[in-house]
Structures are given as structure tokens and as C-alpha cells.
Amino acid sequence: MINKLLKIAAVSFLCLYSQVNFAGGGGEPVEAPVYDELLNQISMREAEMLWESGVPFFDVNTLEIWTQGYIPGAKFFNVRNWKDLLPKDKGKTIVFYCVNRLCTASEMAAREVMKLGYTDVRQMPDGIEGWKLSGRKIERP
């Protein structure tokens, strides 16, 4: 009986030790990315005010999410010719959004557009889920 308990204790110790020893074991640490431009994230209220004033919105969601509803007038941005959708005036305010705060697609799209020289790029982190949950209008294709 004592031998059995010693074996269990030894196995338990080895299991715990190996978990601590290998925690995060992905190799050497890497620095977080540094961006040249700060991303201008906006609240739902700010987004609504911009939408009401006619600012272009770009939906970066997948087609499946987009078909479940999008901000009225928003352009589906997840296409090959996405550069053709952008306004000619690079100083014009534009807003990007995706599904919710866990989605980074709108942040990546906004940063790509900023690299093209657009200067008033906004990102709505709450996404279409936040827009819907707050009771704001949506459209469907």
C-alpha cells in the first residue's frame, strides 16, 4: 500500500514539475509588433454619429457573417478589389468594423489602408455584434 502511494506521489510530482518546466515553451521570446501609426478606435456612439453624417463604413467580416446583417450602407470589404472601394480623397473619414472585439480583421484592414496614405481611418472594435445588441439598424442582402 505504501509503495503504491509513493508511486502515485512520484508520478504526481513529475507531472506537476513538467507542466511548470514547459509552460509557454515556444522558444525565445519575441517583441510585440510596433506600429508607425496609432489606430483611432471609436465608441458605438461616435460610430453612430459618423454613420448619421454619411461617413463611409466598411464591413470586414466573412460573407457568412455579413449576410446575417451589416450597418446600413456599409460596403463589404472582404473582396479582392478592396482598394477600388476606398474613396479617392485620402483625407476623408472612413470607418472599419468586423464582428466584435475578439476579431482583429478590421484593425488589420484599417492599418493596411493607413499604409496607403489615408489619414482619417477609424476602427469600431465593438463590431456588428455591438451594433446589433445596442438596437441600432442593420440591413441584410
Three-state secondary structure readout of 68-129: CCECCCCEECCCCCHHHHCCCCCCCCEEEECCCCCCCHHHHHHHHHHHCCCCCEEEECCHHH
Residue 67 belongs to domain spanning: 40-133
Q: Does 68 reside within a domain?
A: yes
CB-neighbour burial class of residue 64 (10 A; exposed 0-12, middle 13-18, buried 19+): exposed
- The answer to whether 117 and 31 are in contact (CB under 8 A) is no
* pLDDT beneath 50: ranges in the chain: 20-21
User: Would 21 be classed as within a structural domain?
Assistant: no
pLDDT at 77: 96
Burial (CB count <10 Å: 0-12, 13-18, 19+), residue 21: exposed
Q: How do residues 72-109 score in pLDDT, each as one tens digit? A: 999 999 999 999 999 999 999 999 999 999 999 999 99
- With cell 473619414, the residue in question is 93
**Dist CA 29 CA 4 (whole Å):** 41
Entry field: residues in the chain: 141
DSSP letter for 57, please.
E
Residue 98: exposed, middle, or buried by beta-carbon count in 10 A (0-12, 13-18, 19+)? buried
Rounded CA-CA distance 41/135 in Å is: 21
CATH of the domain at 69: 3.40.250.10
Q: Give the separation between CA 123 and CA 89, rounded to whole angstroms.
A: 18
Residue 44, pLDDT score? 96
Q: Is residue 12 part of a domain?
A: no
Total-model pTM: 0.74
Query: Does residue 3 lie within any of the structural domains?
Result: no
Residue 18: inside a domain:
no
Domain-embedded: residue 29: no
